[in-house]
Amino acid sequence: MSAFALTADQCGLARDIGAVAAELRPLAAAGPRGRVNRDLLRALGEHGLLARLFAADGAAKAGAMDLCLLRESLAAVSTEAETALALQGLGSYPFLLWGNPAAKRRWHAAVVEGRAVAAFALSEPGAGSDAAALALQARPAGHGWRLHGEKMWISNAPEADVYTVFARTTPGTQARGITAFVVAGDSPGLGGEHLDMLSPHPIGRLTFDGVPVAPDEVIGDVDGGFRVAMRTLDLFRPSVGAFALGMAQVALDTAVEHTTTREAFGGVLSDQQAVAHKLADMATRLEASRLLVYAAASAYDAGCDPAEITYRSAMAKLEATEMAQFVVDTAVQLVGARALERGHPLEHLYRDVRAPRIYEGASEIQRTIISRHLTRRAQETR
């Protein structure tokens, strides 16, 4: 891991997290594939990693930079542990930061201790990249609402104990008519099923058949849910990039180890210019992506203009996830057939590296965000 722009404390944090991840790796490996590993989540709580995300009152504790260091350091040792921590943060940040005090009191301790599994329920069958097109309805019922519809491709569903759910409260208003709710996993009318996905963690479909939600289960303001979603993603998108950094670093290290020890053509593989140049490209793109991720995280922590944060977060996620796909794929090419044997580190990474280019806004959406920021800024300066 590069020490550029990192303080001594941040470097120490990265080392400490890596050591904890090594302890958790057997527990992560023993978990049920495609299901929530509750033992792992509780261990993350017991080691204090989840507590690093939240203060005692439920406010955000880890800054964006610390969150990135957490995710990169975990990913370099155990992608399962990294994903469990990331999903817990993504699913609970909205209601622990902007929710009603009653929701914070009910869920804070359980989430931080790893006793309650959290999930972020935004995507729908007809609203993946276009989050403003949500169709899940929140119909008025007494002093609250009832939810009708479905969510799709939700991580930790249908096993989560608590969901951040985004639903339409005002029809015909696109992004302006969406409200965020905190919904208990055992709510009446809430159902779901697992989806058989390539991902090693659970992903599922949720159905809402008149699920009741009370006024104190609103997150933020009524019709202000889209802002809650976007501010959450502004924080987590750079950290998705950090997840990609951790995977790419392992792939690069594996490729370097193999090519500098594997004898071929009267020397070692790295003596071949074609191989050496690939290693150089991998390392350069990895370091460039790391700087983009750190820059985006620093902008968030410094409280920069929200539009600037969104712009930098999009660039960090875009480049880091695309880079990781390139680095892992190139590493597999250099190592050869053994890299695809079940249980090889690169085989594992080859499966895990694909999804980050899609979730929390596909690469195409990040490019759209970046280009719109550029054109808007150009128009404002004319």
| Average pLDDT score, the chain | 91
Active-site residue (options: 287, 322, 360, 380): 360
Show the tokens assigned to 228. 């809650």
CA distances from 219 to 131, 180, 317 (A): 17, 5, 26
Q: What is the pLDDT of residues 151-200, one digit of tens each?
A: 999 999 999 999 999 999 998 888 889 999 999 999 999 999 999 888 77
**Would you list the domain boundaries of the chain?**
8-112, 118-223, 226-380
Give the number of other CB atoms < 10 A from CB of residue 379. Answer: 8
Amino acid at 317: K
Amino acid at 56: A
- CATH fold, domain 8-112, is Butyryl-Coa Dehydrogenase, subunit A; domain 1 (1.10.540)
- pLDDT at 5 (0 to 100): 60
CA–CA dist 153, 202 (Å, integer): 9
Max avg pLDDT among 128-132, 177-181, 375-379: 177-181
Amino acid at 252: L
Question: Domain spanning 226-380 has what CATH number?
Answer: 1.20.140.10
Please indicate whether residue 124 is annotated as part of the active site: no
Is pLDDT of 129 > 90? no
Architecture of domain 118-223: Beta Barrel (2.40)
Show the tokens assigned to 268. 């070692």
- pLDDT at 85 (0 to 100): 94
* Structural contact between residues 160 and 152, judged by C-beta atoms closer than 8 angstroms: no
Give the number of other CB atoms < 10 A from CB of residue 7. Answer: 10
